[in-house]
Structure 1
Amino acid sequence: MSIHNENNYNENMIKIVSPLDGSLLGAVKAMSQSEVDTNIEKAKKAFYEWREYPLSKRADIMYKAADLLLANTKRVAELLLMEIGKDQKSAESEITRTADFIRFTADTAKSIHGESIQGDNFSGFSKEKFAMVTREPVGVVLAISPFNYPINLAASKIAPALVSGNTVVFKPATTGSLCGIELAKIFLEAGLPEGALTVITGKGSEIGDYIVTHPDISFINFTGSTEVGLDISKKVHMVPLLMELGGKDAAIVLKDADLPFAAKNIAAGAFSYSGQRCTAVKRIIVINEVADKLIGYLKDEIGKLRVGNPLTVQAEVVPLISEKAADFVWGLIEDAKEKGARMVMGGKREGTLIYPTLFDEVTEDMRIAWEEPFGPVLPILRVNTVEEAVALANKSEYGLQASVFTENITDAFHVAGKLEVGTVHINNKTERGPDHFPFLGVKKSGIGTQGIRYSIEAMTRVKATVINLNR
């Protein structure tokens, strides 16, 4: 909601300020625990009505939501640009992709069927006994989305939950909450019954623990930092979790890789939207004998990147989401310099805008070797063998994704089989999608599997009705 007069703000409102120019975009309510109770109660009540909607009717509402989202592309893209600093092209792409996601979700839900199981398939039981197996909605789903994809990563939780017959309590990140509210309005305009989708806004320090431990929440779908994800998992008991957390995605470059191609992919994967993506390339592990050549190509590719404020230039490298985020990235850069890393290019800062920075000769005692920057800084770690590359990649506490660049398909599959990650990309940058592919992390990078079909299955439960014909 927009507020036209700053005097209208009070202590119960959270101001939303643009990271691009500091302008006041609006405000959201800092809800109290009692207001959280009200929203969750609405969702719980609506569940018993919504679950009875025929799947075809739930799907039709999803299709209409996708159409409405596309019809509002320009307006929502402008809000995305202003609220989270994403360039216009990327903002419009996020909306188009999200509309496709919602449509495909409805299509996929129609193709998920139950099954019947004959009892005599198991020794000692009669064919007169069989089970009818169906999938049932779990109840009230708590969907918590991050700032960086406030439309796409919200819809990737909301649409599979709703089409499955669940109701949703949606908690967007504070930065990105205006976008999240707009998305919720579109779903509601598409025909959701009252309470099927409610939105909670507020300070995590005041209502965060209260929401995740609320007794009427049946499932939690969270995307965000590993720190917050670990905290949620410690406090929640007997409630299923689906989490996408942090990553330290490695691009492993073997000696027979197509180096110009690898450099182009790595630069795009590391620096688009200033690296503010869970699946951004966050380190290069390269065989030493080709490292110098790779760096030459990387310098060319990074040099082509456009840097600046998307209000004035179509840029890939844009201001970071906050001063705090920029300070963190700058701290990683300073630490690497102090410990002897060689800065190949970059190392320049203008407020929250940090220029794409590439380090060579990074060693394992440097923070940048292990910590997730969520910013435009990329370390190169040199190794002598494929085995060293795999061992170094697996040494991370994270396990989201990795890339392997090689012209030898045998080596590619060998390395892919050894890597402790959810997804390995062969000869491509790390990235999420296509959205019907499985998406998951291991170790501290997540719990459970996302992707359209997998998300629907995660947010439903199997129910068996056993029929005995021999009476």
Structure 2
Amino acid sequence: MTTTRRELWINGQWAAAQQHAALYSPYSGEEIAIIAEASPEEAAAAIKAAHAAFQEYRRLPAFRRSAILYRVAELIAERREELAAVVELEAAKPIQAARAEINRTIETYRFSAEAAKAITGEQVVMDAAEGGQNRLGFTIREPIGVVTAITPFNFPFNLVAHKVGPAIAAGNTIVVKPSEYTPLSALLLGELFREAGLPDGVLNVVTGSGAVLGETLTSHPLVQKVSFTGSHAIGEIIQRQAGLRRTTLELGSNAALIVDEGTDLDAVIDRCAAGAFGYNGQICISLQRVVVHRSLYSAFVERLSAAAAALPVGAPDKENTAITSLISDKAAERVTSWVEQAAAEGARIVTGGKRLDAEAGGRNVYAPTVLAEVSPSSNVWSEEVFGPVVSVLPFDTLDEAVAIVNESRYGLLAGIYTPNIHHALEAARCLHAGGVVINDIPTFRIDQMPYGGVKDSGKGTEGVMYAVHEMTQLKLIAFHTGK
């Protein structure tokens, strides 16, 4: 295999870094690239380039920003299979899931192109207040300046798109710091956007360690907003470093589903398996907790376990692979220890609960695992597993089920399957989460919908147009029109 070498993308060109590090395949362990390791000074240079570019880019008409984003979507579509292969290689994402991510990325940039033409304000009724007569008031939205984006490994194209697309649509400039595990996907964007006509300096990509670059990206005086997707612990650090700057923090999750009395299990098992084990459970809203009405509990556990055990295990480049390597040794060791802890605390391992490295022919492969009778204090129930593990508990009343879901410190998305409209509306009202999905899994997401959490799941809202609003400043214009 020929090793790829990648530098930093700053001001519309490749910029050689002083330091570099090897990137390895999560599945095979082979070296796949040599990646630039930016220093704080090199990250600051990218921020300064973005700030300089903003002075002109903020004036670029909406139709031109839209055209650039549409063109990027076209270029990605033309290279769909090539880019999916990059995701499969660096993230160990099964190739079918990698293709699905590229398709969503195309859609995200198209939504961003549409959003660029839909940034509006509103009239303010000035004479609704005494003293407001003979005055005309309205609002406009202006770009805020340099946005820094720190992105995770699990959707290396689409979660970058959810930050880059809205920033460019709004007239901002951006510096992206992708995950150390998946830098290649983000680095490909530089030349794609340049080919699409984006002015130099509007998009910059710096790779390297978050521990080294984090403070520069969050506290540099030219940075106006920080958008971060990742763990709650790192999100807290970023918020402290960012101070009064705007932040969007999409943090941890512990997505839960209620399976209510009367639910047709034939209609839900496959969806639950997809939600729990898709991309090895390494999805922010992966289905991690299921509370099932006692009348369905035994059948649900048995059928979900059978579905999990039937998932094909193997190399990520094989067309039928569903379960493959976790992103790192550390991730596999953590999942292993948490399942062992749960079992020691009384959980029943119905299926899985072990490594499958030899069976899969690769590294860090953990079996899709279903746990029953889990202690609520176990990490697999109370924290974010980020692995192919789902835990199931029974309930007797809807109030009990809602209370079980709400006891988590996380609240990104939750879901309920129910044939009872009253139960559906009650769950929608009472579940404490950023979104409630009715008659589907909480792993459901489409890219234009609002997406953000409550409690320790973060602050701010993504989803293209919602992100645009968070990346613009509302300004009042007030005219005195007469006496």
Range into which the TM-score falls when normalised by the shorter chain: over 0.9
Hey, what's the Cα distance between the residues in 1 that align with 2:373 and 2:184?
42
Q: CA deviation at 1:231?
A: 1.2
Q: CA deviation at 1:215?
A: 1.0
3-state SS of paired residue (1:284): strand
Residue 178 of structure 2, aligned match among 172, 181, 184: 172
1:63 and 2:75 aligned? no
Aligned to 1:333: 339
For residues 445-470 of structure 1, what are the alpha-carbon distances to aligned partners after superposition, in whole Å with 9 as ceiling and x for unaligned?
A: 11111111111111001111211122
CA contact (8 A) 2:252 2:410 kept: yes
Q: Name the CA distance, whole Å, in 2 between partners of 1:328 and 1:141.
A: 33
Aligned partners of 1:198 and 1:99: how far apart in 2? 20
Change beyond 3 A, Cα 1:112–1:382:
same
SS at match of 1:404: strand
Cα separation, partners in 2 of 1:5 and 1:53, compared to 1, 3 Å: closer
1:25-424 map, 5 Å:
25-126=32-133, 128-312=134-318, 314-349=320-355, 350=357, 351-424=363-436
The 3 A distance-change label for structure 1 pair 313 and 465 is: closer
Partners of 1:116 and 1:380 in 2: CA distance: 51
Given that residues 95 and 318 in structure 2 are in contact (C-alpha distance below 8 angstroms), is that contact kept between their aligned partners in structure 1?
no
Contact 2:119 2:170 (8 Å CA) reproduced = no
- Paired residue for 1:451? 463
Is the Cα contact below 8 Å between 1:119 and 1:131 reproduced in 2? yes
Q: 1:194 offset after TM fit, Å?
A: 1.0
Contact in 2 for aligned 1:393/1:419 (Cα 8 Å): yes
Deviations 1:403-435 (A, max 9, x none): 101111111111121110011111111225221
Q: Is the 8 A contact 2:145 2:173 kept in 1?
A: yes
Amino acid at match of 2:55: Y
**SS of the residue 1:300 aligns to:** helix
TM-score between the two structures when normalised by the length of structure 2: 0.93
User: Does the CA-based 8 Å contact 2:226-2:242 persist in structure 1?
Assistant: no
For residue 309 of structure 1, report the CA deviation from its aligned partner.
Answer: 1.7
Q: Is the 8 A contact 1:20 1:311 kept in 2?
A: no
Distance of 1:285 and 1:397 partners within structure 2: 17
- What is the root-mean-square deviation in Å for CA atoms of aligned residues? 1.8
Change (3 A) 1:156 1:5: closer
SS at match of 2:268: helix
Gaps of 5+ in 1: none
Equivalent position SS for 1:450? coil
Instruction: Describe the superposition over 1:320-364 as per-residue Cα deviations: whole angstroms up to 9, x where unpaired.
Output: 000000000001110011111111111220240011111111122
TM superposition shift of 1:10: 10
CA distance in 2, matches of 1:462, 1:3: 47
Q: Which stretch shows the higher mean deviation, 365-374 or 310-319?
A: 310-319
Alpha-carbon distance in 2 for matches of 1:323, 1:306: 21
CA distance in 1, matches of 2:442, 2:69: 29
Contact 1:260–1:294 (CA<8 Å) still a contact in 2? no
Q: Deviations over 1:98-143 (max 9, x none)?
A: 11111122113312322332421223321x2112311000100111
User: Take 2:403 and 2:411, find their aligned partners in 1: how far apart are those partners?
Assistant: 13
**What TM-score do the two structures reach when normalised by structure 1?**
0.96
Cα deviation, residue 311, structure 1: 3.1
Q: Is the 8 A contact 1:401 1:422 kept in 2?
A: yes
Whether contact under 8 Å (2:335, 2:385) holds in the other structure is: yes
Between stretches 292-301 and 93-102, larger displacement belongs to 292-301
Q: In 1, distance between residues paired with 2:422 and 2:430? A: 13
Cα distance, 1:312 vs structure 2: 4.2
Q: How many residues align?
A: 467
The answer as to whether partners of 1:188 and 1:197 remain within 8 angstroms in 2 is no
- Determine helix, strand or coil for the equivalent of 2:223: coil
Which sections of structure 2, spanning at least 5 residues, go unmatched? 7-15, 358-362
Amino acid at match of 1:419: L
Partner Cα distance (1:4, 1:188) in 2: 20
1:436, distance to aligned residue in structure 2 (A): 1.3
CA deviation digits over 1:214-262, x for unaligned, max 9?
Answer: 1111011111111111111122211011121110001111121112222
Are the equivalent residues in 1 in contact too, given 2:5–2:35 (CA < 8 A)?
Answer: no
